[in-house]
């Protein structure tokens, strides 16, 4: 069993990633931690708790609120993409489960230290909690089994600026700490998710037609993003960056081309704040620190997604 801790700014596709983890036959989701990101912080906490409830697991997975703002910068959210509540403005009821009182940073440190080499971290949000955990307990970094993160871009395909992807852009200072922490890690960049994980009109209609609790939930949660994509990109589509990352965690074959590279992030300039740089040619002569995903299986990802949406094990 893969033991997972998931750090999320729950809104939009974060919910699909959570549901996929909860349906995995080869993994156990042991903790969810919340980072500032997509929408109002307390709303993100409620969204995570409600998603766990939709998956029929209310009370089974503890949810720990963490960083309420980035390390050094003003926090800017993404309601325009996901709706004011981050859930397509669906008006979902309050969740039954309560969040834990322990801070996410301590939850991360304690879980990793309690089982050295066993816990896999999945980051689908800005990296503030992870950076704080590494700063608070630097030795913890050596005990993480692996970190998978959705973030950055491999050769500039920004979604919040021309150069930067949202998770990196919100807290590039935290990303810097994590990238240089020595944790073995895999990067799933925005460009891979756009190339292989974009669901378009016919697939979205197939999902809506499933009529399961999970499919109805996904359709509602992504409603605003679908409008946003039409408006901004002229495409009838919904992106799946977080669930695609989770699919790779659960099934290594979803990532079809992975290369070890040196990756860094810009936290100094304004124009390229949060831009990730992958040293393809090794011209910097730095030791590679990241397994970068260069290719993904659209077929396998969709198989896993549809199994989850049908209420089956993934």
Using CB under 6 A as the criterion, which residues of the chain lie in contact with ligand RIB when the complex forms?
A: 9, 12-14, 37-38, 124-125, 150, 159, 165-167, 190, 241-242
Specify the residue for token string 């949810």.
63
The residue among 143 and 186 lying less far from ligand RIB, judged by its C-beta, is 186
Q: Which DSSP category does 155 fall into?
A: S
Give least dist CB 308 to Ca ion, A.
17
Which residues here bind Ca ion, judged by CB under 5 A?
9, 14, 124-125, 242
Give least dist CB 241 to Ca ion, A.
7
Query: Could you tell which of ligand RIB, Ca ion, none binds residue 7, using a CB distance below 5 to 8 A set by kind?
Result: none
Give least dist CB 151 to ligand RIB, A.
7
Q: Count of H helices and E strands in the chain?
A: 13, 12
How many Cα atoms within 13 Å fall on the side-chain side of residue 215?
17
Q: Which DSSP category does 288 fall into?
A: P
Give least dist CB 8 to Ca ion, A.
6
Give least dist CB 116 to Ca ion, A.
27
The residue among 14 and 266 lying less far from Ca ion, judged by its C-beta, is 14
Query: Could you tell which of Ca ion, ligand RIB, none binds residue 241, using a CB distance below 5 to 8 A set by kind?
Result: ligand RIB
Give least dist CB 13 to ligand RIB, A.
5
Residue nearest to ligand RIB (CB): 166
C-beta separation of 6 from 33 below 8 A: yes
Give least dist CB 27 to ligand RIB, A.
19
Closest by CA position to 129, among listed 156, 114, 155, 147: 147
Query: Could you tell which of ligand RIB, Ca ion, none binds residue 229, using a CB distance below 5 to 8 A set by kind?
Result: none
The residue among 64 and 169 lying less far from ligand RIB, judged by its C-beta, is 169
The residue among 38 and 154 lying less far from ligand RIB, judged by its C-beta, is 38
Handedness of CA 93, 98, 102, 107 (dihedral sign): negative
Give least dist CB 17 to Ca ion, A.
8
d(CA 308, CA 289): 32
Retrieve residue 135's tokens: 């700063």
C-beta separation of 295 from 154 below 8 A: no
The residue among 64 and 166 lying less far from ligand RIB, judged by its C-beta, is 166
Query: Could you tell which of ligand RIB, Ca ion, none binds residue 165, using a CB distance below 5 to 8 A set by kind?
Result: ligand RIB
Query: Could you tell which of Ca ion, ligand RIB, none binds residue 159, using a CB distance below 5 to 8 A set by kind?
Result: ligand RIB
C-beta separation of 294 from 258 below 8 A: yes
**43 backbone dihedrals φ, ψ, rounded to 5°:** -65, -40
**CB neighbour list of residue 231: distance below 8 Å, 6 or more residues apart:** none
Run of H or E including 96: none
Query: Could you tell which of Ca ion, ligand RIB, none binds residue 190, using a CB distance below 5 to 8 A set by kind?
Result: ligand RIB
The residue among 140 and 248 lying less far from ligand RIB, judged by its C-beta, is 248
**261 backbone dihedrals φ, ψ, rounded to 5°:** -140, 160
The residue among 4 and 143 lying less far from Ca ion, judged by its C-beta, is 4
The residue among 7 and 143 lying less far from ligand RIB, judged by its C-beta, is 7
Retrieve residue 121's tokens: 């971290």
Pairing of strands 27-34, 63-65: parallel
């Amino acid at each position: 069993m893969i033991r997972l801790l998931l750090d999320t700014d729950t809104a939009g596709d974060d919910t699909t990633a959570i549901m996929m983890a909860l349906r995995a036959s080869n993994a156990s989701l042991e903790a969810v931690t919340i980072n500032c990101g997509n929408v109002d912080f307390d709303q993100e906490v409620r969204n995570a708790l409600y998603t766990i409830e939709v998956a029929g697991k209310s009370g089974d997975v503890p949810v720990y609120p963490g960083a309420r703002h980035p390390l050094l910068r003003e926090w800017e959210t993404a309601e325009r993409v996901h709706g004011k509540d981050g859930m397509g403005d669906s008006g979902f009821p309050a969740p039954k489960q309560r969040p834990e009182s322990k801070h996410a940073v301590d939850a991360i440190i304690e879980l990793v230290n309690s089982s050295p080499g066993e816990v896999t971290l999945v980051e689908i949000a800005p990296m503030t909690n992870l950076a704080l955990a590494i700063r608070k307990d630097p030795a913890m970094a050596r005990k993480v089994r692996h970190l998978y993160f959705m973030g950055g871009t491999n050769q500039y395909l920004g979604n919040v600026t021309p150069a930067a992807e949202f998770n990196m852009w919100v807290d590039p200072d935290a990303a810097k700490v994590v990238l240089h922490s020595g944790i073995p890690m895999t990067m799933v960049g925005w460009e891979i998710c756009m190339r292989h994980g974009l669901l378009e009109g016919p697939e979205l209609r197939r999902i809506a037609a499933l009529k399961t609790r999970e499919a109805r939930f996904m359709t509602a949660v992504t409603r605003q993003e679908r409008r946003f994509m039409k408006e901004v990109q002229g495409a009838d589509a919904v992106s799946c960056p977080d669930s695609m990352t989770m699919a790779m965690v659960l099934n290594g074959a979803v990532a079809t081309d992975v290369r070890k590279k040196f990756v860094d992030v810009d936290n100094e300039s304004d124009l390229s704040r949060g831009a990730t740089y992958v040293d393809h040619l090794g011209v910097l002569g730095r030791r590679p620190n990241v397994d970068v995903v260069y290719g993904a299986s659209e077929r396998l990802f969709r198989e896993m997604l549809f199994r989850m949406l049908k209420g089956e094990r993934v």
